[in-house]
Amino acid sequence: MGVARRTTLGSTRTRRKNGQQTAIAYHERLEKSDLLEIYRRLWFARIFDEALYDAKKKGRLRRGNVYGSRGQEAIQVGTTYPLRPDDFVSPIHRDMPVFVFRGMTPEQVMCQIWGKANAPTRGKDSWSHMGDMSLGIVHSTSMLGSTIAVACGVLWAQRLDGRRDRVLVAYTGEGATATGPFHEGLNFAAVHKLPLIVVVENNQYAYSTPVELEVPTETVADRAKGYGIPGYCIDGNDVLEVYNTTCAALEHARAGNGPVLIECVTYRLQGHADHDETRARQYRPVEEIELWEKRDPLPRYRQYLLKTGLFSEDELPEPPPDIVERIQKAIEYAISSPDPEPHTALEDIYDESAGVSR
Amino acid sequence: MREVTFLEAIRLAMWEEMERDPNVFIIGEDIGRMGGAFGVTTGFLERFGPDRVIDAPISETAIIAVAVGAAAAGKRGIAEMQFIDFISYGFDQVVNVAGTWLYRSGGKTPIPIVVRGPSGGYVGGSLYHSQQFEAWFFHTPGVKVVQPAFPDDAYGLMKAAIRDNNPVVFYEHKYLYRRIKGPIPDASEDYIVRLGEARIRRYGSDITVVTYGAMVHFALEAAQRLEKEGISLEVIDLRTIKPLDMETILESVRKTSKVLIVYEAPKTGGVGAEISARITEQAFEWLDAPIMRVAAKDAFVPFAEPLEKFVLPSVDDIVFAARELAAY
């Protein structure tokens, strides 16, 4: 029984015998400033989520869903912190802060959420369906497994350019590991030893469907065996464990050894989206939600920092007020940004800039 | 000028584009060591190496996805479907990933890919090696659809498709691969056939036949037969199905006032339905007869010869329909 099962929620130990663990404590090499930055990023993610739920509740955000990531912040922060600027990511709907960690401005992200003319998609698509190849942010779609296969192409382009050391971190959910493209993508990546790190955010539910109805193996990481690649099953609510495992995976991938699968076991504390809050407390046991509230990655990391003796209580405000302000500023910017002109709906369907003479 | 088969024209177009542009690569099943199931990529692996000629696992989704992802990162991928029927596996990649990427990137990330492969019937290929589902992609925004009928067009259109900045689904009728021969320009001419331009393959005065792919040859044969009966067909080879060259169609309709649309796919919901609707919308007052369609019956393409013949359109079908129209 792995922790990925609802029945074993009380234990975070049993899963460890299944997935691999990294023995190296990469985080011990981090400076105090890094440790603080990780703390601040966790809070950025938390406040981002809360601010959007609040905006939706108050009617300031009138269109589209808010896909919460409360409780999953350690994954967003721990997997991105060790990346090089030239690495790639393909975030999904529960990774909105990743867009900012990888170079987009909070304003761009908020404009996207509000569907504004100056959003990365110019109001064409919603939420996480955006990207910026110049920042190494690969656009994903609603079909989550699909991007795992697309990632292989992005990495193949690097191979053609002689840049085999650029890694792509592709995020997906445990539910999407049941899709065909997840398999075809990982299979292809493993055959050709592409530097792909697949981060499975196992938050235990695909909308309402529990993981045991999505995945037959004891852990999601077990799927890695089918591709002959390392599969880690780790505590996704421990930002340092996520960080350490990502560091190990990066070393493996950069060295030309092929892909790595990291299953980050976590929990979706909210509904699938903001419209799902009531039902999400019906199709899941309330005790389960309460249990995972106690495993909140933010206080856990704060406790760790205090224990190191490097930080005083005052240095670790909950939340850091400047981040609250920063996110609010971005929201106000988005709200005051112009809506797209209706006729632009027909732009960017085809690109005729190159023509046939290119 | 070089006299080559339809297949060789496609092979040469891809070869020359890969010589010209190091960003072009090709991925598919059995395309490297074997040179492709039909030999369209014979010699490619030896010339361009395994990084640009990828023998892929049986993974149509991944094959198209690799082309798509690489295109997003600045390359030009050609994805071969061993049979175009198998594109159904990669449907999501074409429609939801490649087709939408430019749109959802605010116009910043074009996806220059060609998804190509042998299509069509008349060779006993049965259900999964005979299909002509070009209407799927005709219906898809963001995607272009091409189906040539002659070697020179196949050559020029393939080059244009590779250089185009959009996803192109390229149908190569397998019945034509080795049956049809013709001249193509020399490599030095850098010959291109622009996407979206139809070509009148035979001029006539009584009936406009709008068609593409293998049906162009059927229509030309029908035209020859009908000439003896004093019925003159004008045969328009669309070459590119999307974008559709309505100008050429309408110009011809205004001349003949009668229209026969011929396509090999199942009749219902096919490309011909859209062409018919547009002619009605845009040239109704020029018509002297109902627009007619000759297409496959609404069935699968069966294996046994009498069954296949019954389902797929024939030269006779075109002749009979044209007579009916001429007499209208």
Judged by DSSP in three states, B163 sits in helix
Q: How far does B276 lie from chain A, in Å, by closest CA?
A: 24
Name the domain boundary from B163, B189, B215. Answer: B189
Q: Is the ipTM of this complex over 0.95?
A: yes
Query: For position A353, what pLDDT does the model report?
Result: 82
Are residues B119 and B36 part of one domain?
yes
Q: For A68-124, what is each residue's pLDDT tens digit?
A: 999 999 999 999 999 999 999 999 999 999 999 999 999 999 999 999 999 999 999
Contact B60, B81 (CB under 8 A): yes
Q: For A124-138, what is each residue's pLDDT tens digit?
A: 999 999 999 999 999
Residues of B whose CB is below 8 A from A124: 103-104, 106
Q: Which amino acid is at B221?
A: E
Domain ranges for chain A, please list them. Answer: 18-335
Pairs of residues, one from chain A and one from chain B, whose beta carbons lie less than 8 Å apart: 164
Of B70, B141, B165, the CB nearest to A351: B165
Confirm whether B194 is domain-assigned: no
Residues of B whose CB is below 8 A from A184: 57, 59, 61-62, 65
Burial B101-138 (b: 16+ CB within 10 A, else e): bbbbbbbbbbbbbbbbbbbbbbbebeeebbbbbbbbbb
Q: How far apart are the C-alpha atoms of B26 and B50, rounded to whole Å?
A: 10
Contact B10, B158 (CB under 8 A): yes
Is A143 within 8 Å of B51 when comparing Cβ atoms?
Answer: no
pLDDT at residue A303 above 50?
yes
Interface of B with A in 221-250 (CB under 8 A): none
Confirm whether B76 is domain-assigned: yes
What's the pTM value of the predicted model, to 2 decimals? 0.95
Are residues B101 and B81 part of one domain?
yes
Confirm whether B135 is domain-assigned: yes
Of A159, A348, A356, the CB nearest to B163: A356
Contact B148, B154 (CB under 8 A): yes
Residues of B whose CB is below 8 A from A158: 73
- Total of domains in chain B: 2
Termini Cα distance of chain B? 44
Contact B46, B18 (CB under 8 A): no
Residue B50 contacts A where some CB pair is shorter than 8 Å: no
Are residues B130 and B240 part of one domain?
no
Token duo for residue A214: 């999505």
Contact A270, A203 (CB under 8 A): no
Are residues B219 and B163 part of one domain?
no
Are residues B175 and B298 part of one domain?
no
Name the domain boundary from B189, B217, B249. Answer: B189
Token duo for residue B95: 């429609």
Q: Residue A24: which pLDDT band, with cuts at 50, 70 and 90?
A: confident
Of A188, A347, A356, the CB nearest to B164: A356
Q: How far apart are the C-alpha atoms of B155 and B189, rounded to whole Å?
A: 12
Of A125, A154, A355, the CB nearest to B69: A154
Confirm whether B320 is domain-assigned: yes
Are residues B283 and B135 part of one domain?
no
Residues of B whose CB is below 8 A from A349: 102-103, 141-142
Token duo for residue B43: 């010699």
Residue B282 contacts A where some CB pair is shorter than 8 Å: no
Token duo for residue B295: 């297409």
Of B61, B104, B166, the CB nearest to A149: B61
Are residues B156 and B205 part of one domain?
no
Are residues B171 and B128 part of one domain?
yes
Please list the pLDDT of chain B residue by residue as tens digits (328 residues).
999 999 999 999 999 999 999 999 999 999 999 999 999 999 999 999 999 999 999 999 999 999 999 999 999 999 999 999 999 999 999 999 999 999 999 999 999 999 999 999 999 999 999 999 999 999 999 999 999 999 999 999 999 999 999 999 999 999 999 999 999 999 999 999 999 999 999 999 999 999 999 999 999 999 999 999 999 999 999 999 999 999 999 999 999 999 999 999 999 999 999 999 999 999 999 999 999 999 999 999 999 999 999 999 999 999 999 999 999 9
Judged by DSSP in three states, B161 sits in helix
| β B168-173/B144-146 pair status | parallel
Residues of B whose CB is below 8 A from A131: 105, 109
Q: Which amino acid is at A67?
A: Y
Are residues B185 and B217 part of one domain?
no
Ranges of beta strands (E only) in chain A are 88-90, 168-173, 196-202, 205-206, 209-210, 231-235, 260-265
Please, how many CA atoms are within 13 Å of residue B288, restricted to the half-sphere of its CB?
A: 14
Q: For B9-67, what is each residue's pLDDT tens digit?
A: 999 999 999 999 999 999 999 999 999 999 999 999 999 999 999 999 999 999 999 99
Structural domain of residue B295, as residue ranges?
A: 199-327
Residue B140 contacts A where some CB pair is shorter than 8 Å: no
Here the CATH number for the domain that contains residue B310 is 3.40.50.920
Of B22, B72, B160, the CB nearest to A138: B72
Q: How far apart are the C-alpha atoms of A95 and B304, rounded to whole Å?
A: 54
Is B69 within 8 Å of A141 when comparing Cβ atoms?
Answer: no
Residue B194 contacts A where some CB pair is shorter than 8 Å: yes
Contact A327, A51 (CB under 8 A): yes
Residue B25 contacts A where some CB pair is shorter than 8 Å: yes
Is A124 within 8 Å of B74 when comparing Cβ atoms?
Answer: no
Name the domain boundary from B159, B189, B219. Answer: B189
Q: Which amino acid is at A312?
A: S
Is A181 within 8 Å of B77 when comparing Cβ atoms?
Answer: no
Is A125 within 8 Å of B23 when comparing Cβ atoms?
Answer: no
Is A150 within 8 Å of B61 when comparing Cβ atoms?
Answer: no
Are residues B293 and B219 part of one domain?
yes
Residue B253 contacts A where some CB pair is shorter than 8 Å: no
Residue B195 contacts A where some CB pair is shorter than 8 Å: yes
Residue B163 contacts A where some CB pair is shorter than 8 Å: yes
Q: Closest Cα partner for B49 from B85, B83, B25? A: B25
Are residues B224 and B159 part of one domain?
no
Q: For A199-247, what is each residue's pLDDT tens digit?
A: 999 999 999 999 999 999 999 999 999 999 999 999 999 999 999 999 9
Residues of B whose CB is below 8 A from A356: 159-160, 163-164, 192, 194-195
Q: Is B129 a catalytic residue?
A: yes
Q: Does domain A18-335 have CATH number 2.40.50.1020?
A: no
Judged by DSSP in three states, B263 sits in strand
Are residues B153 and B20 part of one domain?
yes
Residues of A whose CB is below 8 A from B192: 356-357
